[in-house]
Amino acid sequence: MTISKKKQASVMAAMPAHLHAELAAYAWARDSVGESDAAVYRLQGRDGAPDLYLKHGRGSAAADIADEMARLRWLAQYLPVPAVVQFARVADPDQAWLLMTALPGATASEVLEANPALGPAVVDALAAFLRRVHALPVSDCPFNAGHAVRLAKARQRIDAGLVDAEDFDAGREGWTAEQVWAALQDCLPLVPDLAVTHGDFSLENILMQKGAVVGCIDVGRAGVADRYQDLAIVWRSLGELDAALQQRFVQQYGILDADQGKLQFHLLLDELF
């Protein structure tokens, strides 16, 4: 949806001067897809210039934006991700802006919604792309996204009252954040199978064009972690469509029998973010 001039002005008010020139003459539209705490805007219509995306956040969202910027720059040498055009952060109050290129294509979710019969082909493309992600060199990745790090962040979010229990999966409807935390402890210890992970490998974060994956977005949680971090998220997404697609995905990825305990752990953990 197009945003008002007043809203646009408020986002730009504290923005460092070097960003203003980049944003002049663009039309702004709010992008409501995803669950980020940051506001996301698509910028279009500047004299034939390519479309851009702007993320803006305050406080913890500003830190998340900074994390995503660093990961985008590292991943760009290996994967099709948005290019960082500009990044800025100010301390008082804590705010960050991340300006990125827009990638081509539609999300895997949009592709399947438009034509459910493409399910097997989409699943095969997703599995191939995830194998590509997980083949990146762990020793070269500077980001630790392991479950111990995420558990610590989850505990901080619970204590700060930041967990939205109303958004829990249907199987945990009515649970509290503390009940999710207790269930997580029952799943430990976890022996990770380390890989470079996307961190939020959902159908909304993978872009496709002509049957192939052409990019991934929302990489702020990327880093070295148990590969089931990614497998669990896409498993849940596909399960909302067809259980047969779940099985096809893991088989195309290269797993004959998915580890249900690890799937459960990572889905529980995801509830707290």
Which residues are part of the catalytic machinery?
Answer: 200
| Number of helices and strands in the chain (H, E) | 10, 10
CA distance 271 to 236: 12
3-class SS of residue 175: coil
Report how far residue 45's alpha carbon sits from residue 253's, in angstroms, rounded to the nearest whole number: 40
Give first-to-last CA distance, the chain, whole Å: 26
Of 79, 123, 121, give the one whose Cα is nearest residue 235.
123
Q: Give yes or no for a contact between 79 and 69, defined as CB atoms under 8 angstroms apart.
A: no
CA–CA gap between residue 132 and residue 147 (Å, rounded):
21
Distance, in Å, from the CA atom of 134 to the CA atom of 215, rounded to the nearest integer, reads 15
Task: For 177, list phi and psi in degrees, rounded to 5.
Answer: -60, -35
**What are the two backbone dihedrals, phi and then psi, of residue 12, each rounded to the nearest 5 degrees?**
-85, -15
Q: How many CB atoms lie within 10 A of CB 226?
A: 23
192 dihedral zone (left: phi>0; alpha: psi -120 to 50; beta): beta
